[in-house]
Structure 1
Amino acid sequence: MPEAAPIRPVRLPNYLAYGSNDVLGAGAMAVISGWVLIFYTQFCGLSAGQAATIFAVARILDAFASPMIGYISDHFGSTWLGRTFGRRRFFILAAIPLLPSFALMWLPGQGFWYYLVSYVLFELVYAMEIIPFETLAAEMSSDYRTKAKFAGSRILFGQASAILAGFLPLWLINALGRDSADTFFYMGLIFAALFMVTAGLLYLFSWERHMPGGPAVAAERLAAGGAGQALSALYRNLFSTMRIRAFRLHLGMYLGGYISQDIFNATFTFFVIFALSGSMGQASGLLGTMYIVQFVAVIIAINLALRASPSRAYQVAAADFAVGVFALIGLWLLGVPATSPWIWAPIILAGLGRGALNYIPWATYNYMADVDEIVTGQRREGSFAGVMTFVRKATQAAAVAGVGFIMQAGGFISGAPVQSHGAILTMALLLGIGTVGCLMFGLWVSRRFRLSPATHDILMREIEHLRSGARTPSSPGAALVVEDLSGWRYDQLWGNNPVAGLAR
């Protein structure tokens, strides 16, 4: 069994360096979800279907790459590179010189195959850096409040980068001209430079817990079994994470909150331009303002998550976002244009909800490896990070690709300055039904999620109780808590279950 990590103080530079890396994690996703469909269809001559195909192909490849990176990082500590640079942190260091691939995605005047290859390349580099990054909060601390602060720092930086993703096109449009495709290439260059700086800071100001014995044994088995056995072990390990009840519920909340935003982001710019008779600059300004509101909402959500139930905060946030979406649709039905001051009411409401929905799933994610540890007796942060990154990118791709295919089926014509009534109605239905439908799913799941500061404290005490050699619960109440979080009876915990065998 792994030993407890040595106590090492987490200071402000560690929080800031960790959080700053979400300029890549959230910033890249904000740019892609908000602008790539517009770039492909309005500036590169691709159809909405071709743009959607790029997302679909990239995610099929990522279905293998993301969990593989997580699995390898869990077992990389036995190698010389892993011992020298860190089993997680080596991948972060290696990704830094590859991050300029983001700018290549936005080079104008290329064809379908160029954009497909450049997008796939960046997604692989992104997975290589982000999956190890997502393990580091659990590696650096086991304390609930410290992990919540890590998540808060991460999401605040992520929201700051989203603000930049919203406003930067507007600033570049003003500098380069309304119809310049170079707007997006310069945006890509600026973000690529930020990605490299923040990844470097993350490497310098992070560390990993010591894991004696386990990684070396697993790596020897991996090498002895060959590539086929390694891939089989990888997916056994991957699917085993789904047998942890808290993680399944966490994924449901995560998907409800994030897919709703992906659909909204992919549709919003088109909706402003064609349904509300706005411009790309106005859409950029509205997105940027929404992200500012989200930044404030994250600060509020951090306090709520530390003091109360994350599930309750999630429910309030989802309701705010849904009301904002309905209000936006209502303005369109009333014929209110994007230039009206009334547009700011739904933007503020949606932003308040979206900010909290961004923070809460990542705050609860940092505790999933703790729930898994009481089930398996192992630390598998990399496996959970691989699943999270794969699910995040796969669902975002499905949402954005789905928007592209549905818009094309609804009559959208790439490059046209005006769209038909049918195409605009399709945008409105996507924005309303697509977004709110996903929010309702997340709300339903959140009512069953009971991880909180109080239940996490009980969980950690029971882990130490079992680590000391005990095999019965410290109290009946503690048994109920850990059984609810894990989904397993108490006598099946600490390796006495099929999950532990799959995880080896």
Structure 2
Amino acid sequence: MPTAPSRPVRWYNLAAYGSNDVLGAGSMAVISTWILIFYTSFCGLSAVQATIIFGVARVLDAFTSPMIGHLSDNIGRSWLGRKFGRRRFFILAAIPLLPSFAIMWVAGQGFWYYLVTYVLFEMVYAMEIIPYETLASEMATDYRTKAKFAGARILLGQLSAIGAAFLPGALIARLGPDDPDTYLYMGIIFSALFMAAAGLLYAFSWERQRPKGLDEEEAGDKPTLGAAFKALYRNLFSTLRIRAFRLHLGMYLGGYISQDIYNAAFTYFVIFALAGSTAIVSQLVGVTYIVQFVAVILAINFALRLSPSAAYRMAAISFGLGVAIFLIMYAAGYTATSSLFWLPVVFAGLGRGALNYIPWATYNYMADVDEIVTGRRREGAFAGVMTFVRKMSQALAVILVGQVMQASGFVSKATTQSPSALAGIVGVMGAGTIAMLLFGMFVSTRFRLNPRTHAVLLEEIEHFRAGARTPTTPENAAVVEDLSGWSYDRLWGNNPVANAQK
């Protein structure tokens, strides 16, 4: 069945799409930098309690996200989906709920208040961000346009992360370092930005026109809650049978969990190990995000012209060097006031920016690899499963950081920490971050999706659509077999992955 012609992508479509990462990257930058120090310094929670809140919210979100992805794949058969779009309906519905971000930052409450408010925001976040992650594949078909969407997302996301770093510093300068309302005002400002970005996304995006009768062809009954949970496990196992997606997940987790561990420990590292302050943290993190912005621009060019996997390894080495220099300078007795600390910030920022971009650039092609295996488009399933794996692993990583800190003797609300607590902070930031980077680099050596192989993939998809069942050339067959993990005669629905979706 031929695909419908795509609409032209204008600069304002790219800008509107990218602006939504104010919610994606912006909220996560705020949370990863400030939430643990807010909980332990202004709310009286222990390191274990703070990281448990983070972990529980992530685990619940991990189960919610695949369900939303499944529903967004199937809601097109309903009146709501036909009226507002099967993806864009969720984005529209999330807009009035986004102020839930602000109520997370009310100081002086108890453990259960912070747990409930964090979980609430995570649910709203998933409701908006999962359908959003499918829109690049909906709005574009070719490699370069999808890469532009990924670049717009990460570039504007990095700008929002810069604001997330410097805004607390500006509020601290006005309100003082001990005023917890700093974080509440920050939450209110970002909630307004989230709503505006989601509105722009809805106004200037669209979904791929589905051939007439396809919804009825793919499924008969409307999805139920039970079907959504069943699809969670079915999609989890079926998507992991796509080789390129497995490798993509490994690179994604290596690049992002290394940053989760680094972010969770870095604020404590600066304040306690380097004798710094929240204002210095704001400056260092802000400059890191500025460098990341530059790194994304460089990574876009590398990923378009060269191999994403080679660019990934270069980025991981740069980030790892930044972490190593931080540790060497700490061991040499430098404090946070030293101007030399801008050196590791630059290395870390260059690596982190590229690591943020590359997995999302390659993600936009996963549905294409899946299509040659199943003969279907499952963008929502991949978005949900990717988020499920990410959230579960992120929850475990951050909880582990809290456990190590607590076991090392970390004391909440203390102005100084014991030598053993400092060793725990330094150790988890160094060893944990570098170990995950090495894992991601190893996986990247086996990932071979690039502009050339993606063009071959699309050529073979059209070959299948035309009714052919033999490869155009042996070389093309080898490429799609490497990407998919299946022999050519098992592609286009002739395999258990496709049968599991029926």
Question: Shorter-chain-normalised TM-score: which range?
Answer: over 0.9
Alignment of 1:56-75 (within 5 A): 56-75=55-74
Q: In the alignment, is the contact (CA less than 8 A) between 1:41 and 1:414 conserved in 2? A: yes
Question: Which residue is 2:3 aligned to?
Answer: 4
Report the Cα distance in structure 1 between the residues aligned to 2:391 and 2:96, rounded to whole angstroms. Answer: 22
Question: Which residue is 2:288 aligned to?
Answer: 290
Question: Which residue is 2:123 aligned to?
Answer: 124
Alignment of 1:180-259 (within 5 A): 180-212=179-211, 213-216=213-216, 220-223=220-223, 227-259=225-257
CA shift for structure 1 position 218: 5.0
Superposition TM-score, scaled by structure 1 size: 0.97
Question: Which residue is 2:351 aligned to?
Answer: 353
CA offsets 1:61-96 (integer angstroms, 9 cap, x no match): 223211000000000101001000000000000000
Report the Cα distance in structure 2 between the residues aligned to 1:161 and 1:311, rounded to whole angstroms. Answer: 26
CA offsets 1:363-411 (integer angstroms, 9 cap, x no match): 0000000000000000000001111222333333222222112111111
Report the Cα distance in structure 1 between the residues aligned to 2:232 and 2:414, rounded to whole angstroms. Answer: 46
CA shift for structure 1 position 219: 5.4
Specify the code of the residue in structure 1 equivalent to 2:67: M
Specify the code of the residue in structure 1 equivalent to 2:436: C
Q: In the alignment, is the contact (CA less than 8 A) between 1:18 and 1:150 conserved in 2? A: yes
CA shift for structure 1 position 107: 1.1
Q: In 2 relative to 1, CA 114–216 (structure 1 residues): closer, same or farther, beyond 3 Å?
A: farther
Report the Cα distance in structure 2 between the residues aligned to 1:191 and 1:108, rounded to whole angstroms. Answer: 17
Identity among equivalent positions (%) equals 68
Alignment of 1:72-91 (within 5 A): 72-91=71-90
Question: Which residue is 1:271 aligned to?
Answer: 269
Report the Cα distance in structure 1 between the residues aligned to 2:132 and 2:429, rounded to whole angstroms. Answer: 32
Question: Which residue is 1:34 aligned to?
Answer: 33
Report the Cα distance in structure 1 between the residues aligned to 2:170 and 2:396, rounded to whole angstroms. Answer: 30
CA offsets 1:92-136 (integer angstroms, 9 cap, x no match): 000000000001111111110000000000000000000000000
1:150 aligns with 2:139: no
Specify the code of the residue in structure 1 equivalent to 2:338: S
Q: In 2 relative to 1, CA 190–330 (structure 1 residues): closer, same or farther, beyond 3 Å?
A: same
The DSSP-based 3-state class of the residue aligned with 1:339 is coil
Q: Where do 5+ consecutive residues of structure 2 fail to align?
A: none
Give the counterpart of 2:317 among 304, 316, 319: 319
Question: Which residue is 1:489 aligned to?
Answer: 487
The DSSP-based 3-state class of the residue aligned with 2:221 is helix
Specify the code of the residue in structure 2 equivalent to 1:332: Y
Q: In 2 relative to 1, CA 175–411 (structure 1 residues): closer, same or farther, beyond 3 Å?
A: same
Report the Cα distance in structure 1 between the residues aligned to 2:138 and 2:85, rounded to whole angstroms. Answer: 11
CA shift for structure 1 position 229: 4.6
Q: Where do 5+ consecutive residues of structure 1 fail to align?
A: none
CA offsets 1:435-460 (integer angstroms, 9 cap, x no match): 00000000000000000000000000
Question: Which residue is 1:18 aligned to?
Answer: 17
The DSSP-based 3-state class of the residue aligned with 2:240 is helix
Q: In 2 relative to 1, CA 60–7 (structure 1 residues): closer, same or farther, beyond 3 Å?
A: closer
Question: Which residue is 1:97 aligned to?
Answer: 96
Report the Cα distance in structure 1 between the residues aligned to 2:344 and 2:142, rounded to whole angstroms. Answer: 37
Report the Cα distance in structure 2 between the residues aligned to 1:491 and 1:217, rounded to whole angstroms. Answer: 23
CA offsets 1:476-499 (integer angstroms, 9 cap, x no match): 000000000000000000000000
CA shift for structure 1 position 210: 2.0
Question: Which residue is 1:363 aligned to?
Answer: 361
Specify the code of the residue in structure 1 equivalent to 2:186: M
1:52 aligns with 2:47: no
The DSSP-based 3-state class of the residue aligned with 1:220 is coil
CA shift for structure 1 position 426: 0.6
Question: Which residue is 2:501 aligned to?
Answer: 503
Superposition TM-score, scaled by structure 2 size: 0.98
Report the Cα distance in structure 1 between the residues aligned to 2:195 and 2:4, rounded to whole angstroms. Answer: 29
Deviates more, 1:179-188 or 1:389-398: 389-398
Q: In the alignment, is the contact (CA less than 8 A) between 1:277 and 1:337 conserved in 2? A: yes
Question: Which residue is 2:112 aligned to?
Answer: 113
Specify the code of the residue in structure 2 equivalent to 1:393: K
